[in-house]
Amino acid sequence: MKSKILYIFVFVLAISCMKQSDDRKAAARVFDIVLYEEDMLKILPKGLNPEDSALFVKTYINRWAQEQLMLQKAKINLREDEEEINELVDQYKQDLLINRYKEAIVAQELDTLITSEDIEEFYNANKDIFKLNEELVKIRYIQYGNNVINPKEFAKLFKADDNEDDQKLMEQELQLKSYNLNDSIWIRYDDVMKHISFLKDDNKDKYLRKNYAFEQEEDESTYLVKVKDVLLRNEIAPMSYTIPTIKQMILHKRKLELIRKIEETLTNDAIKNKELQIY
């Protein structure tokens, strides 16, 4: 077996410079299948030095030869399955062409403008599908090292909880190890745990309480935390949190409706023009 493969490989390389009747120069041949030099040039990466180019060509020819040899073996040994394979190939080609056409029509015709009214209407009509499978929180916190010289100032500014004092905190940002002062947006509790080390799944009942403020020392740091609001599992997610998902769902629904309309129009036009007759 090894000697046969070696013979074929030597045969392929021996005729690599053979001139073809159509004046194209062959790079390799397996039986009656020819790989031409001009085809190699099309896929040869630009900027390679001569050594790398030679290595690329050699590797490509070997891989191409192995694929062609395997294909020929498959054709010989799977002749009984060839009809079924051809049917699958034809079906795949048909599906590919149809899908490409649908994508082209959708790209051209789909209305992608989604208004706030569209979002609100969809949310109100489908609230049950937006039940949470995780906790959400509105939270603000700062973390600073225990060696800072003005911890009382940090505490005072944080507890004031207004834009002016938050700005003063940000002016001392370099002394903060981490922070989040925007408690107007909903955040996944799992994401909060990544930044506040002492928050865990097994102690969330202790900390996940609405309007709960506390101070905690951990890992040579002090955390000042205020939980503004909490939503638990199986509660309905707020609309603001679901907006990205709603937009995707609206676009998907519009896409399906557009495709259905195209299919109906094609069918009706074909019947009208007697291009389609159902017996």
Residues of the chain whose pLDDT is less than 50? 1-21
Rounded to 5°, the CA angle 28-33-38 comes to 50
CA-based torsion, 51, 52, 55, 57: positive or negative: negative
- Rounded (10°) CA dihedral 209, 213, 215, 218: 30
Q: What backbone phi and psi angles, to 5 degrees, belong to 278?
A: -110, 120
pLDDT for res 180: 93
| Of 88, 90, 181, the residue nearest 138 (C-alpha) | 181
The structural domains of the chain, with segments of one domain joined by +, span 2-78, 90-130+244-279, 132-231
pLDDT for res 10: 42
* Owner of token pair 């054709």: 75
Burial 102-116 (b: 16+ CB within 10 A, else e): eeeebeeeeeeebee
Burial 157-171 (b: 16+ CB within 10 A, else e): bbeeeeeeebeebee
Burial 46-84 (b: 16+ CB within 10 A, else e): eeeeeeeeeeebeebbeebbeebbeeeeeeeeeeeeeee
pLDDT for res 210: 93
pLDDT for res 259: 94
pLDDT for res 22: 61
Q: What is the pLDDT of residues 17-71, one digit of tens each?
A: 444 446 788 989 998 899 998 888 888 888 888 898 889 999 999 999 999 999 8
Q: How many CB atoms lie within 10 A of CB 202?
A: 6
Q: How many CB atoms lie within 10 A of CB 97?
A: 10
pLDDT for res 17: 43
